[in-house]
Copies of this chain bind each other. A is one copy, B any other.
Amino acid sequence: MERWRGRVALVTGASVGIGAAIAKELVRFGMKVVGCARSVEKIQFSSAPFVLPQVNVVALSVCTREAYQSMKERNVDDGHIINLNSMCGHRIIPSSDIHFYTATKFAVTALTEGLRQELREAKTHIRATCISPGLVETEFGPRLFSQTPEKAAALYSQYKPLEAVDVANAVVYVLSAPPHVQVGDVQMRSVEQVS
């Protein structure tokens, strides 16, 4: 990670959960972390079909475009864009609560690989990665099941899920790979997660 010391990392969603864990970890390695976050209360999952694609697909695309533009303007050839995906971006689990979320994460899988190809086509060495965790204990569950607290309670009690820091460690791993190594995806779950 030595080569990242003193460089700038923009972390979205940095106020809580996985974003906060990543920001903390990058600071520990000497990066200058710029965090940004919306007020999470504003996202009502009850209106998921309308809001989730805006956040998970459109906002992610806009951030990616801006980050890439910024790197180009500053002649940064060794940047790294890391998308937070999910195991739900790779397979469909039989849980109707999660199907729309799953659709947005399938989109993230495609966007990340599309980005990787575009970066190759543009002859840059900027890397594109997605990290695809399974269940992580964060504020996500209570938020997803805000109308049905019994589901929220059940979510993290069936087995020991991943922790936010585990995802942050995956971010550190892909960042610390030598410049010629592009890790495109790290798929990770709790060792006790069934599906």
Binding site for B on A (CB under 8 A): 49-50, 53-54, 57-58, 61-62, 65, 91-92, 94, 96, 99-100, 102-111, 113-115, 117-118, 120-121, 125, 127, 160, 162, 166, 169-170, 173, 177-195
Contact A188 B180 (CB under 8 A): no
> A173-B173, A180-B160, A181-B162 are known contacts. Are A92 and B113 too (CB-CB below 8 A)?
yes
> A111-B100, A162-B180 are known contacts. Are A62 and B49 too (CB-CB below 8 A)?
yes
Residue of B nearest to A130 (CB): B187
Pull 24 A–B residue pairs with CB atoms less than 8 Å apart, ordered by A.
A49-B58, A49-B61, A49-B62, A50-B58, A53-B54, A57-B107, A91-B92, A94-B195, A103-B111, A103-B114, A106-B107, A120-B192, A120-B194, A166-B180, A170-B183, A173-B173, A177-B188, A179-B191, A180-B191, A181-B188, A182-B189, A183-B186, A184-B187, A184-B189
Contact B194 A166 (CB under 8 A): no
Closest 7 CB pairs of A and B: A99-B114, A103-B107, A106-B106, A106-B110, A53-B53, A103-B110, A185-B187
